């Protein structure tokens, strides 16, 4: 039997401690499956004396993760520090340059420096594995990098942030406001004290940028993503969506078009009958549309210590199964130096149309003026509904107008809404939500 695979872990938070726990509790199973033992031989963290609820055994302690990354006492460096720069970047680079395999759960690092790190890994003949960086325990990276060989991907989309999905689910099921749901998510540990990174779409955007590179063989482009968060979603939107036969989800969507690649993160209305509409709570889901397989949808735990640890262990196990001299595949499915430059698609028709909610003054001519602005911008309406807000003290002074459009362009919608604003009819900010076809 081959010698033990020596693993060094930098970062002993929830995920790092969970990885050690899995290796300790499931060591015999891993040894049988991999044909060799997996041993945690070294660790690094900020506080040597902190009680993490796990035994570090005889693992060597390193105060500096960069020293650990360069150590001759490890074969695999597991980076769980976090952050796109600083110690995370420097230690991963050091490990790869030292000829060590790397496993990371750091989507921010990969979104910003993934291509450069992939080049170093490929030059040195080592692996850079990152299953845990996208969708937690769902094996979407392995599927896209290996299992879909020969398939041409046309679109990849999904629910990539459990915090947002939990909040939207609670708003729908418990009829509770966004602020109340966010507070509950923070109490349960699903949301950070400062939830901006999650609720404004940044976390989803980082994950989407990685999936886009895998799907289309292009360089990672996290700054070329149209992004909206969920903080402006109200109970009125949730209720209106339900009445129209939809649920609201925060989706990350990437698709290839004739003019380039489109990447966007935003609240989306999906049909209640679709599979992705049934993905509730902190669960994640990723759908991949291909020419050979058709549509593949995977769902599962998207966050949490054990879900992320499972993905980390899977990456480590893949390394344990490889043998000296084995030629490793490219990090992003195509050799890093041959990844195509990212070309952003020009604005085009949106296949699913739009939901538009307007709070307008209750006076003659408003309804007609709105319809005219839509017609002036060649927007075809599927439905238009005017209603009073029952129980609202201002209901006698204002009305809610809900529009559902057929396919149109983003620019046309923006121009129409700007025109309605200029007309002076709005009494609150307009709400615009895309309607997405979904499996």
The 3-state secondary structure of 186-202 reads: HHCCCCCCCCHHHHCCH
CATH 3.30.70.260 segments of the chain:
349-435
What was the pLDDT predicted at 388?
Answer: 65
- State both tokens at 343: 């070309």
207 is annotated as an active-site residue? yes
Q: Which CATH class is domain 5-137+305-338?
A: alpha beta
What is the share, in percent, of the chain residues with pLDDT greater than 90?
78
- The neighbour count for residue 382, using CB atoms within 10 Å, is 14
- State both tokens at 110: 């990969």
Contact between 299 and 9 under an 8 Å Cβ cutoff? The reply is: no
What was the pLDDT predicted at 328?
Answer: 75
* DSSP classification of residue 253: E
Helix (H, G, I), strand (E, B) or coil at 112: helix
Residues 237, 242, 243, 246, CA torsion sign = positive
What was the pLDDT predicted at 362?
Answer: 85
Q: What share of the chain is helix, strand, coil (3-state, %, to 5)?
A: 40, 25, 35
Q: Please count the helices (runs of H) and the strands (runs of E) in the chain.
A: 14, 18
pLDDT tens readout for residues 118-158: 999 999 999 999 999 999 889 999 999 999 988 999 999 99
Contact between 111 and 210 under an 8 Å Cβ cutoff? The reply is: yes
What was the pLDDT predicted at 326?
Answer: 64
Superfamily of domain covering 349-435: ACT domain (3.30.70.260)
Ramachandran angles phi, psi of 28, nearest 5°: -65, -40
- The neighbour count for residue 380, using CB atoms within 10 Å, is 11
What was the pLDDT predicted at 395?
Answer: 53
Domain 142-301 has CATH 3.40.50.970: no
Please classify residue 326 by burial: count the beta carbons closer than 10 Å to its beta carbon, then call 0-12 exposed, 13-18 middle and 19+ buried: exposed
For the question of whether the overall pTM of this predicted structure is more than 0.85, the answer is yes
Helix (H, G, I), strand (E, B) or coil at 18: helix
What is the pLDDT tens value at each position of the chain, 439 positions in all? Answer: 679 999 999 999 999 999 999 999 999 999 999 999 999 999 999 998 898 889 888 999 999 999 999 999 999 999 999 999 999 999 999 999 999 999 999 999 999 999 999 999 999 999 999 999 999 889 999 999 999 988 999 999 999 999 999 999 999 999 999 999 999 999 988 888 899 999 999 999 999 999 999 999 999 999 999 999 999 999 999 999 999 999 999 999 999 988 899 999 999 999 999 999 999 999 999 999 999 999 999 999 887 789 899 999 999 999 999 876 666 789 999 999 999 999 998 867 677 799 999 999 888 888 889 999 999 999 999 988 887 655 455 556 788 999 999 999 888 999 999 999 999 989 889 999 999 877 6
Catalytic residue selected from 107, 207, 247, 249: 207
Rounded to whole angstroms, the Cα distance separating 172 from 180 reads: 13
pLDDT tens readout for residues 93-115: 999 999 999 999 999 999 999 99
CATH 3.30.360.10 segments of the chain:
142-301
Residue with tokens 């149109």: 408
The residues pairing with 288 across neighbouring beta strands, listed in sequence order, are 156, 296
Residue with tokens 């900010």: 429
CATH 3.40.50.720 segments of the chain:
5-137+305-338
């Amino acid at each position: 039997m081959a010698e033990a695979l020596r693993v060094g872990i930098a970062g002993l938070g929830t995920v790092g401690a969970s990885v050690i726990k899995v290796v300790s509790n499931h060591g015999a199973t891993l040894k049988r499956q991999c044909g060799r033992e997996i041993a945690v031989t070294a660790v690094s963290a900020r506080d040597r004396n902190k009680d993490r609820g796990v035994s570090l055994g005889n693992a060597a302690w390193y105060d500096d993760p960069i020293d650990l990354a360069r150590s001759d006492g490890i074969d695999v460096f597991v980076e769980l520090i976090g952050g796109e720069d600083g110690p995370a970047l420097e230690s991963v680079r050091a490990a790869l340059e030292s000829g060590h395999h790397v496993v990371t759960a750091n989507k921010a690092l990969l979104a910003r420096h993934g291509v450069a790190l992939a080049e170093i890994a490929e030059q040195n003949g080592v692996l850079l594995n990152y299953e845990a960086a996208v969708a937690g325990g769902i094996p979407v990276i392995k599927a896209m990098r290996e299992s879909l060989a020969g398939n041409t991907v046309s679109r990849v989309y999904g629910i990539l942030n459990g915090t947002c999905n939990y909040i939207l689910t609670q708003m729908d099921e418990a009829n509770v406001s966004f602020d109340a749901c966010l507070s509950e998510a923070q109490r349960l540990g699903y949301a950070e004290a400062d939830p901006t990174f999650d609720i404004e779409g940044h976390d989803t955007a980082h994950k989407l940028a990685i999936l886009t590179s895998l799907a289309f063989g292009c360089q990672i482009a996290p700054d070329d993503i149209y992004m909206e968060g969920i903080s402006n979603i109200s109970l009125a939107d949730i209720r209106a969506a339900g009445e129209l036969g939809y649920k609201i989800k925060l989706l990350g969507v990437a698709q290839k078009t004739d003019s380039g690649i489109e990447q966007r993160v935003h609240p989306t209305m999906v049909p209640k009958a679709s599979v992705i509409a049934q993905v509730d709570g902190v669960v994640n889901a990723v759908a991949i549309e291909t020419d050979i397989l058709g549509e593949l949808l995977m769902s599962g735990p998207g966050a949490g210590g054990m879900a992320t640890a499972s993905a980390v262990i899977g990456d480590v196990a893949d390394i344990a199964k490889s043998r000296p001299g084995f030629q490793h595949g490219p990090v992003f499915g195509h050799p890093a130096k041959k990844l195509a430059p990212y070309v952003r698609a020009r604005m085009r028709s949106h296949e699913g149309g739009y939901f538009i909610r307007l709070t307008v003054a209750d006076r003659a001519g408003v309804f007609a003026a709105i319809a005219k602005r839509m017609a002036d911008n060649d927007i075809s309406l599927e439905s238009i509904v005017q209603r009073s807000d029952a129980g609202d003290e201002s209901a006698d002074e204002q009305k809610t107008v809900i529009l559902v459009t057929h396919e149109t362009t983003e620019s046309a919608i923006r121009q129409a809404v700007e025109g309605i604003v200029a007309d002076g009819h709005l009494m609150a900010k307009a709400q615009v939500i895309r309607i997405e076809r979904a499996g």
